Structure 1
Amino acid sequence: MAGTEPVERAMFPLESALLPGEELPLRIFEPRYAALVRRCLDDGEPFGVVLIARGREVGGGDARCDVGVLSRIAEHADLGAGRYALRCRTGERIRVREWLPDDPYPRATVTVWPDEPGEPVTAAQLVEIEDRVMALFERIAAVRDARLPEREELLGRVEGDAGQRLFALASRIPIGTADRYSVLSAPSAADRFAALDDAVDALADMVEFQLSE
């Protein structure tokens, strides 16, 4: 989906906030989402994934957030009777411009949402927040007398610009759904850094609380 022109997409609301560049396994059994899968397989289209603000994944009637990601089906298995097992991969961040009728599945008009201009995030800032995350992992490993994998295995290889690197880092640490959505919906890389910085602070406080018990 090139550029930022509005495009109608099939949508899959979930009870988790997905970030760009993540694996997304799905098991499909609802008829409406079986129809979504058939459309995407037939046309080679991605579908949008957004966080459910209120409600449940099954049955409809949910309230949905308006920032999400495009997801593409990488592998699929047709299990029969309208059931599928999917392995998907998330890509570009999107904004919902208008929700359309759920007929036969959730649909919306969306645009790709690249990072907006802002203050630069420096390499030193990225290293600093990665060091804090590693310190947390090391603290937990020491208490559990466990051996940690290498830094690159835990945090991933340093690839892409600062904004993409922050998405990748956020996807590898156990922050809550609200914090993940704050990282996803931050307009610029600098805003994303601030959101992730706050999330790491909250995670550090939670780890220390749990370890003190």
Structure 2
Amino acid sequence: MLGDMSAHPMFPLGMTLLPGEPLSLQVFEPRYRTMIADCTSADGDNTFGVVLIARGHEVGGGEERVDVGTLAFIEECSPRPDGRYHLSCVGTERFRVRSWLPDDPYPKADIELWPSPQTDDLNLDLQPVVHRLDSLAEALMRIRGIAVGDRLIEPLDNDETVETKVYGTAVRLGLGPADRLRILSAPTTAERIDALCQALDDLIAVIEFSGLPSN
């Protein structure tokens, strides 16, 4: 059960975590060690929010943060003799930040979960994504000589949604934090597909450009 969403622990990072994505962290800053101790205590819910740092650094504070993120659920927490924590987490639910609270000592925010509409997956077609992934595989082979042995996207499993497939494809392709943020921030699954297609178009264009002869 999720705890108080009005003052939820937050961990700004230099990455955009997506739902379903695994996350490993070495926690060494004292303020975040305190946060993990709170999250895993009897009063905690084993979750913290992950948002992308828009400007600044992970260490030391004072960074600018985006207002859309993903909850990370702590699956395994291993304390180290020097006081650090090694965490194995997974992204779960998307959220929006309503307001940031003062760091005390770690970042906290008033957040609200931001699920996609219940009927969002109905009648959606992944074919535009499949077409671009095929073009990506062809470009990788033609320009860089890289053969993509496995299919870049598989058919939906019985218990899988179009939304989870889009997130999983973005993770598998190793898209950058800005592309991931656009995908995560898309209000609907249809718009999320469009954001993924745009990211793939940009990636294909970069590969094609890299194959042009230099003057």
Task: Report TM bin, short chain.
Answer: 0.7 to 0.9
Separation in structure 2 between the aligned mates of residue 66 and residue 45 of structure 1, nearest angstrom: 21
The within-5 A match list for 1:116-155 is 116=117, 122-123=123-124, 125-141=125-141, 143-151=143-151, 154-155=152-153
Q: Is the 8 A contact 2:98 2:112 kept in 1?
A: yes
Separation in structure 1 between the aligned mates of residue 112 and residue 154 of structure 2, nearest angstrom: 28
Instruction: Tell me how far 1:96 sits from its aligned partner.
Output: 0.7
> Which amino acid in 1 is paired with 2:186?
A
Tell me the secondary structure at the aligned position of residue 175 of structure 1. Answer: coil
> Which amino acid in 1 is paired with 2:194?
A
Which has the higher mean CA deviation after the structures are superposed, 77-86 or 185-194?
Answer: 77-86
Q: Is the 8 A contact 2:79 2:86 kept in 1?
A: yes
- Higher helix proportion (structure 1 or 2): 1
The within-5 A match list for 1:174-189 is 174-189=174-189
Instruction: Tell me how far 1:40 sits from its aligned partner.
Output: 1.6
The answer for unaligned runs of 5 or more in structure 2 is none
Pairwise CA RMSD of aligned residues? 2.3
Q: Is the 8 A contact 1:118 1:188 kept in 2?
A: no
Instruction: Tell me how far 1:109 sits from its aligned partner.
Output: 1.1
Q: Normalising to structure 2: TM-score of the pair?
A: 0.86
Asked whether 1:192 is paired with 2:192, we answer: yes
Instruction: Tell me how far 1:183 sits from its aligned partner.
Output: 0.5
1:209–1:146: structure 2 CA closer, same or farther, 3 Å change rule? closer
Q: Normalising to structure 1: TM-score of the pair?
A: 0.87
Tell me the secondary structure at the aligned position of residue 80 of structure 1. Answer: coil
1:119–1:143: structure 2 CA closer, same or farther, 3 Å change rule? same
Q: Output one character per residue of 1:155-202: Cα deviation in whole Å (capped at 9) or x when no partner.
A: 356242222222222222233322111110000111111211111111
Q: Is the 8 A contact 1:118 1:189 kept in 2?
A: no
> Which amino acid in 1 is paired with 2:104?
D
The answer for unaligned runs of 5 or more in structure 1 is none
1:119–1:23: structure 2 CA closer, same or farther, 3 Å change rule? closer
Separation in structure 2 between the aligned mates of residue 34 and residue 148 of structure 1, nearest angstrom: 41
Identity in percent: 41
1:166–1:55: structure 2 CA closer, same or farther, 3 Å change rule? same
Q: Output one character per residue of 1:30-72: Cα deviation in whole Å (capped at 9) or x when no partner.
A: 0011111111221333100000111100000001000000001
> Which amino acid in 2 is paired with 1:54?
R
> Which amino acid in 1 is paired with 2:189?
A
Separation in structure 2 between the aligned mates of residue 209 and residue 107 of structure 1, nearest angstrom: 43
